[in-house]
Structures are given as C-alpha cells and as structure tokens.
Amino acid sequence: MTSSFFTYDKAKVIQALRYHFISRREIKITIILVNVFAIMSAVMFFSGKISPVALIMASGLWFILMISFWFALPYIIYKRSSTFRTRYRVDFGEQEMAIETEHGHRSWEWSEFSTYLETPYFFHLYFNPQTFFLIPKKSFDSIEGAREILKAKIKK
C-alpha cells in the first residue's frame, strides 16, 4: 500500500501531541494525583482545616499542570521540531515502513516499532514510549487498509 505526499497541519499536530502526552502512564498518574490533591485541599478548606493560601497554592499547582500538558508542551515541541514543516511520503510495505522527503529516504522493519496508537487524525507509530512518528490518516487512500497493516505488523 503506497500513500501520497503529505504535510502536517499545525492544529492537528498539536492535538496529536496532546493525545501522546495524555496517553503516557506516568502523566496519567501525575494528573490523577494532582486532581486528588486539589480536591482534598478544597474539602479541607471548606471544613476549616487549611487556610485559603493553601487552597490557592493547591489550585495553582493544578492549573499549572493542566496548562503545561495541554498547551505549553505541545506548542514547544511543535515549534522546536522541523519535522512538522517537511513534506513526506510514507509507504507501508509488507516488510517495512518507508519515509521519503526531498532530502532522503529511510525505512524501518515493522519489528522496530514497539506499538501504535490511532487518534482522530493520525497513526502514532512508537519505537519506544518517547520516540514516535505521526502519520496523517489523510495520506492513505484506504485508512482501513492502513489499519489492517498496523494491526498485523505491530503489537498494540
């Protein structure tokens, strides 16, 4: 299955990076713990056990964490990466996945990918928990065909 050339759309990449961050186990745990801490702080404030300053600090921590994961990190990564400003062509072959740009060509055997994640606009192909490719779904003639290849070649 061969696809056409594609470029990245900034808004969709930002959304995909949010999915990446929120799907990470350590970030989920951190968000849950900070939410529990903020809720407990509110309960303790309304029961008179802590001062308003402590509640404001707990709320501030929650607010900073949410802003970081939802806005700051995705925008910083997008801005720093030239990857999202390059034109690509991807090819899902029987033995490998290949990426081509005007600067060169690189391919990886399917066994080099550890997992994948499907989001509304992208397939996230992971080498490890931090290193991945975003492949736009719009770059395939058949999204179902791409899904079938990914299901067959990469353990989810």
> Could you tell me if 72 and 30 lie in one domain?
yes
Whether residues 58 and 110 share a domain: the answer is no
Mean pLDDT of the 75-95 span = 92
Task: Based on the fold, state whether residues 37 and 90 are members of the same structural domain.
Answer: no
Question: Which of 80, 104, 127 is at the close of a domain?
Answer: 80
Q: What is the pLDDT of residues 120-144, one digit of tens each?
A: 999 999 999 889 999 999 988 889 9
> Rounded to an integer, what distance in angstroms lies between the CA atom of residue 76 and that of residue 11?
13
| Structural domain span for residue 88 | 2-8+83-153
| Residue 113 backbone dihedrals phi, psi, to 5 degrees | -90, 135
Tally the domains of the chain.
2
pTM of the model: 0.82
Domain C-terminal end among 80, 113, 133:
80
Select the highest-mean-pLDDT range: 8-12, 19-23, 28-32: 8-12
DSSP string, 64-128: HHHHIIIIIHHHHHHHH-GGGGS-EEEEE-SSEEEEEETTEEEEEEGGG--EEEE-SSEEEEESS
Average pLDDT over residues 41-59: 91
Residues 101, 71 share a domain: no
Same domain, 114 and 147: yes
% of residues, the chain, pLDDT over 90: 69
Q: Are residues 41 and 76 in the same domain?
A: yes
Query: Looking at residue 79, what is its pLDDT?
Result: 95
pLDDT of 20 reads: 92
Instruction: Look at residue 156 in the predicted model and tell me its pLDDT.
Output: 67
Residue that terminates a domain, selected from 55, 80, 105: 80
Answer whether residue 13 shows pLDDT above 60.
yes
| pLDDT at residue 3 greater than cutoff 70 | no
Report pLDDT for 1: 57
β-sheet bridge partners, residue 98: 91, 107
User: What mean pLDDT value characterizes the chain?
Assistant: 91
Give the model's pLDDT for residue 119: 95
